[in-house]
């Protein structure tokens, strides 16, 4: 079972390094973490994950990945799922920790989740900046 967090984790590191770049003061040492590029290359691109179906342990479709968001602290990625609705109408967005997703036989799974449970989660809305 592979975890989807490989490429998102690398993206989080890259984004945090890029975002922190202008904030360094002169003379302050910059450290960059070396990553295992072979391991990262076998991960999943966010562009391929977004739009993917998500199933539960019973192989029932429970939604689609609408987006992947890295928290403002740069550490915790989240998957924004589009649930409910039909043909894109009436769907609502929720957020789940990205680490809760699993890849099993090339399917993205949210183990233990049901459509009813997901409907009880708070609705996710993008910040307006």
Higher pLDDT, 84 or 21: 84
Question: C-alpha angle 124/127/129, rounded to 5°?
Answer: 165
pLDDT tens string 89-121 = 788 999 999 999 999 888 999 999 998 999 999
- CA-CA distance, 30 to 100, in Å (whole number)? 32
Kindly report, residue by residue over 12-47, the tens digit of the pLDDT. 444 444 444 445 456 677 788 898 999 888 888 888
Which DSSP state fits 21? G
User: Which residues sit opposite 40 in a β-bridge?
Assistant: none
What is the predicted pLDDT for the residue at 20? 47
Reported pTM: 0.70
H runs (alpha helix) in the chain: 5-20, 37-41, 46-49, 115-119
Tokens of 43: 């991960």
Q: What are phi and psi of 117, to 5 degrees?
A: -65, -45
Question: How many degrees, rounded to 5, is the angle at CA 81 between CA 79 and CA 86?
Answer: 165
Residue (of 15, 16, 6, 13) closest to 45 by Cα position: 6
Binning the chain into helix, strand and coil, the percentages to the nearest 5 are: 30, 25, 45
């Amino acid at each position: 079972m592979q975890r989807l967090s490989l490429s998102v984790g690398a993206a989080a590191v890259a984004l945090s390094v890029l975002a922190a770049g202008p904030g360094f003061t002169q003379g302050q040492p910059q450290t960059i973490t070396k990553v295992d590029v072979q391991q990262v290359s076998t991960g999943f691109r966010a562009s391929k994950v977004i739009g993917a179906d998500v199933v539960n342990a019973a192989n029932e479709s429970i939604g689609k990945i609408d987006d992947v968001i890295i928290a403002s602290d740069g550490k915790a990625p989240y998957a924004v799922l589009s649930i409910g609705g039909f043909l894109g109408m009436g769907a609502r967005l929720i957020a789940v920790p990205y680490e809760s997703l699993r890849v099993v036989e090339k399917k993205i799974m949210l183990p233990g989740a049901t459509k009813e449970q997901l409907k009880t989660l708070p609705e996710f809305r993008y910040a307006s900046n």
